[in-house]
Amino acid sequence: MSRTSVTFTSAGIDIAAHLYVPDFRHEPLPALVVGHPGTGVKEQTSGTYAQLMASRGFVTLAFDAAYQGESGGLPRGLEDPAQRVEDFKAAVSYLTTRPEVDAGRIGLLGVCASGGYSLAATAGDHRVKAVATVCTAEPARQFRYGADGTQDPAVFQALLAAAAEARTKAAHGEDPGVLTMFPETAEQAGALGGRHGIEGWEYYCGPRGHHERSAKFLAWESVDRMASSDVFHAVPLIGPRPILQILGEHAVTAWMGLEAHRRATGPAEVYWIEGASHVDLYDKREYIDLAVEKLGEYFTVSLAK
């Protein structure tokens, strides 16, 4: 396959992406937009899935969300749910311009945070014929309720207070700072978030998946933008188009995927990867290969002519 660095525009922001095209194509092919986890970049897990799906005959586009990675937008590290959904739609628009792509056969594939955003983007864009997610999560829910859904409400209220203070500082010309997503050590991450916290630290901060452009922080205004966001609200609008969610058997975040599943009004499937945690589906090939096999079967049928 070939990989080409490309750019497209999303609500006026330049988006950086990698386009993967299978070898030996003789006609326009089905295509997938692949989105990364929160604070991730296209060179990490979304790039892995994009390459593996391209090897199965799909044109794939892995992109950096606005305000993150090599994409434009200020402030850096902003997590804006509405913009994240728009990025997916803009990526679909870009794919329709590519001669390698059959514009009538485009699907979305979102990993972690992009899982939630891809569902909302599908709901609002009938050009998307099918959507699949891997370890579905929604940043707004995770901030409000914690990764496992049991967080004390006072935690998010404290974050909202800090975000409000940061906005006031910025209004007075002071540096508002940023919300750091990870502590200094894996042990500290484990004390805060158990196994899920340790694995997240190992992936983003350690050699397991570290990338220099993965910021590992959020602009403070991300917090209050997420306070009123609910991307799962749009899931019923997907209607008769198919939904596949791939979840790890041991993922503490699985409750979010199941909540999205309960809102589906059309064909929807939850596929469990035995033995896998949430982060295992980012980089462990024994689990990724099982997910990709299922994704290949699913998109081959759902994006058929």
pLDDT in tens, 226-237: 999 999 999 999
Is 180 within a domain? no
Q: Are the CB atoms for 135 and 253 separated by under 8 Å? A: yes
Is 125 within a domain? yes
Residue 127 maps to which CATH number?
3.40.50.1820
For residue 114, give its domain range.
2-148+229-302
Q: Are the CB atoms for 242 and 151 separated by under 8 Å? A: no
pLDDT for res 26: 81
Is 238 within a domain? yes
Does residue 24 surpass a pLDDT of 80?
A: no
| 247: β partners | 272
Chain mean position to CA 224: 20
Q: Into how many domains does the chain fold? A: 1
Is 41 within a domain? yes
Burial of 234 (C-beta count, 10 Å sphere; 0-12/13-18/19+)? middle
What 3-state class would DSSP assign to 197?
Answer: helix
Is 82 within a domain? yes
Is 169 within a domain? no
pLDDT digits (tens, 9 = 90+) for 207-254: 898 999 998 999 999 999 999 999 999 999 999 999 999 999 999 999
Is 202 within a domain? no
Is 195 within a domain? no
pLDDT for res 99: 95
